[in-house]
């Protein structure tokens, strides 16, 4: 075991950067957070400044060390987790970005995606990559950058330009430009990686006109990619030894190591991932097939099915900011609990359309079943129930696609602190729901992977033993009541 006893988790999110420092018992001893600027140059365009992201990372590392009362030499390893699909280009030698990064939320390539679909390529894209043709993913963003940044394509063809998602950028900066790498989980979100070979697909690269020389090397999720060099708060030589996209890191942080084990992160939206084992499972319900992680350079690859609901905590924010029926987001639980049920009111949280398994972008939010007896408390309860019911639909799609039952359902994210929501989720799923002691499972997953890659832990089993549940919600609802809820929900979704 390395002499130093702490792991630093660098969690680079969409609106800010978190750094957590954990000891070998996985207790957080120091943390910090810093927001950075969101750039909106045109409607539906979203950009980030790569240099500002790196500055926020350096600032957070220094503050977390100070908070923990540690020095840089006390860090044994670094693990990274990141917003996925956000796309950047920079000069290989200097690290100078060619432009702002294009964020995963950006929709500027919608027309390009429409043309690709009209060409009939989507079935082949799904077969090779497990993804759908959508502006969400990195590939079309990268095509746009090469088409619009003067000289970028020629420089990339000569090998002078690096492409990377945020994980790649952070490792490049941490190692002083020595490492140009990504891990399999992030590479699987680009539209450019073959899910079976875990290598860049020449076919997809040609379809999107991406030069091979700009692509990073694809590596495992827990191995040493390089060591720190030239940083202000950390000495040279600390191994950067783990990384995974944020949702995959949360799945790992929840110790979902067996096929069928699932987690749902309840944030602004909700992301449900199921471990499907060592073979990719192709979806017939519009779910995404993705790599969860690969341990070591040549270890076993674990795959996952992923489904996302666009609106989860955002519905509660809407109740607070739009309808102004609550002052703080946590207040919705007490308001909802003030009535014994939702009074037959159903809420479909399609405030940004419906994602998997419905895929109805034209759908809109809907309250159904309102009568003279309806109060804001009934509506608040219906909002929480609607969040859980859309996750039920994703879970059922995953059961069908994978042929597996979900033995236990693990929840994390800010809204997982809501006991009423968690109990109703367990009730409609019909399986126990477990909430961990540490809800920051994304950072925890990054730390786990970094520690594994650096040899601080020797196997995921050590992590499973360290994982602690805070509360288990067992299903209490009778089957006939559950079926009534699901029937009302189905009718409301058809009307949304």
CA dihedral 408, 7, 244, 351 (to 10 degrees): 70
Mean pLDDT of 321-328: 90
* Between 364 and 167, residue with greater pLDDT: 167
Measure the CA–CA gap between 127 and 132, rounded to whole angstroms.
Answer: 10
Question: Comparing 46-55, 154-163, 310-319, 343-352, which segment has the lowest mean pLDDT?
Answer: 310-319
Domain-by-domain residue ranges, the chain? 6-247
**The Cα angle at residue 181 between residues 175 and 187, in degrees rounded to 5:** 145
Residue 151 is labelled as binding a ligand: no
Residue 11 has pLDDT above 60, yes or no: yes
Task: Enter the tokens of residue 30.
Answer: 């120091």
DSSP string, 394-453: HHHHHHHHH----S-EEEESGGGG-HHHHHHHHHHHTS-EEEES-S-HHHHHHHHHHHHH
Confidence of residue 308 (pLDDT cuts 50, 70, 90): confident
Tell me the backbone φ, ψ of residue 360, rounded to 5 degrees: -125, 85
Residue 434 has pLDDT above 60, yes or no: yes
The total of other beta-carbon atoms located within 10 Å of residue 207's CB is: 20
Please, what is the average pLDDT of the chain? Answer: 91
The contacts of residue 88 (CB under 8 Å, 6+ apart) are: 50, 97, 101, 102, 163, 164, 165, 166, 168, 169
3-state secondary structure of 241: strand
Question: H or E stretch including 460?
Answer: helix 460-466
**Locate tokens 């979902």: which residue?**
256
CB contact at 8 A, 439 and 266: no
Q: Whole-model pTM?
A: 0.86
The total of other beta-carbon atoms located within 10 Å of residue 33's CB is: 15
Residue 478 has pLDDT above 60, yes or no: yes
Mean pLDDT of 165-188: 96
Whole-number pLDDT of residue 184: 96
Residue 11 is labelled as binding a ligand: no
Measure the CA–CA gap between 479 and 335, rounded to whole angstroms.
Answer: 26
Residue 206 has pLDDT above 70, yes or no: yes
Q: What is the pLDDT of residues 61-114, one digit of tens each?
A: 999 999 999 999 999 999 999 999 999 999 999 999 999 999 887 888 888 988
Mean pLDDT of 9-25: 90
Residue 317 is labelled as binding a ligand: yes
Residue 109 is labelled as binding a ligand: no
Residue 203 is labelled as binding a ligand: no
Residue 136 is labelled as binding a ligand: yes
Q: What is the pLDDT of residues 361-406, one digit of tens each?
A: 678 889 999 999 999 999 999 999 999 999 999 999 888 888 888 8
**Locate tokens 């804001």: which residue?**
376
Residue 96 is labelled as binding a ligand: no
Please report the sign of the dihedral spanned by the C-alpha atoms of residue 112, residue 115, residue 121, residue 127: positive
Confidence of residue 297 (pLDDT cuts 50, 70, 90): low
Residue 85 is labelled as binding a ligand: yes
Confidence of residue 1 (pLDDT cuts 50, 70, 90): very low
Mean pLDDT of 322-345: 92
Mean pLDDT of 410-425: 92
Residue 449 has pLDDT above 60, yes or no: yes
């Amino acid at each position: 075991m390395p002499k130093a006893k702490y792991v630093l988790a660098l969690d680079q999110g969409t609106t800010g950067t978190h750094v957590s420092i954990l000891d070998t018992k996985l207790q957080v001893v120091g943390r910090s957070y810093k927001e950075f600027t969101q750039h909106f140059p045109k409607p539906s365009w979203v950009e980030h400044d790569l240099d500002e992201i790196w500055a926020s990372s350096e600032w957070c590392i220094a503050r977390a060390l100070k908070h923990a009362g540690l020095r840089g030499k006390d860090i044994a390893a670094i693990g990274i987790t990141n917003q996925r699909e956000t796309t950047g280009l920079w000069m290989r030698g200097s690290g100078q970005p060619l432009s702002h990064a294009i964020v995963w939320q950006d929709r500027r390539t919608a027309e390009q995606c429409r043309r690709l679909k009209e060409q009939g390529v989507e079935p082949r894209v799904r077969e090779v990559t497990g993804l759908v043709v959508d502006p969400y993913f990195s590939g079309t963003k990268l095509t746009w950058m090469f088409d619009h940044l003067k000289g970028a394509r020629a420089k990339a063809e000569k090998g002078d330009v690096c492409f990377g998602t945020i994980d790649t950028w952070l490792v490049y900066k941490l190692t002083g430009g020595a490492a140009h790498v990504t891990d399999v989980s992030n590479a699987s979100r680009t539209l450019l990686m073959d899910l079976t070979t875990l290598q860049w697909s020449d076919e997809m690269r040609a379809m999107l006109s991406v030069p091979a020389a700009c692509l990073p090397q694809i590596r495992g999720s827990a191995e040493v990619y390089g060591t720190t060099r030239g940083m202000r708060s950390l000495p040279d030589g600390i191994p950067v030894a783990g990384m995974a996209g944020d949702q995959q890191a949360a799945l790992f942080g929840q110790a979902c190591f067996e096929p069928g084990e699932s987690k749902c992160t309840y944030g602004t939206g909700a992301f449900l991932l199921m471990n499907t084992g060592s073979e990719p499972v192709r979806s017939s319900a519009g779910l995404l097939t993705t790599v969860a992680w690969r341990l070591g350079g040549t270890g076993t690859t674990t795959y996952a099915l992923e489904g996302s609901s666009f609106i989860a905590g955002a519905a509660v924010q809407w109740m607070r900011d739009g309808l102004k029926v609550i002052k703080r987001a946590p207040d919705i639980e007490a308001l909802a609990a003030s009535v014994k049920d939702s009074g037959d009111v159903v809420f479909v949280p399609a405030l940004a359309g419906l994602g998997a398994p419905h895929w109805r972008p034209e759908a809109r939010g809907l309250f159904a079943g309102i009568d003279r007896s309806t109060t804001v408390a009934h509506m608040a309860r219906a909002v929480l129930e609607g969040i859980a019911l859309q996750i039920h639909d994703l879970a059922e799609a995953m059961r069908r696609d994978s042929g597996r039952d979900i033995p236990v359902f693990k929840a994390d994210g800010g809204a997982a602190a809501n006991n009423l929501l968690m109990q109703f989720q367990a009730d409609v799923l019909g399986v126990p729901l477990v909430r961990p002691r540490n809800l920051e499972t994304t950072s925890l997953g990054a730390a786990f992977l970094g520690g594994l890659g650096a040899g601080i832990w020797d196997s995921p089993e050590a992590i499973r033993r360290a994982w602690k549940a805070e509360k288990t919600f067992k299903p209490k609802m009778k089957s006939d009541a559950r079926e009534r809820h699901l029937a009302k929900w189905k009718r409301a979704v058809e009307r949304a």
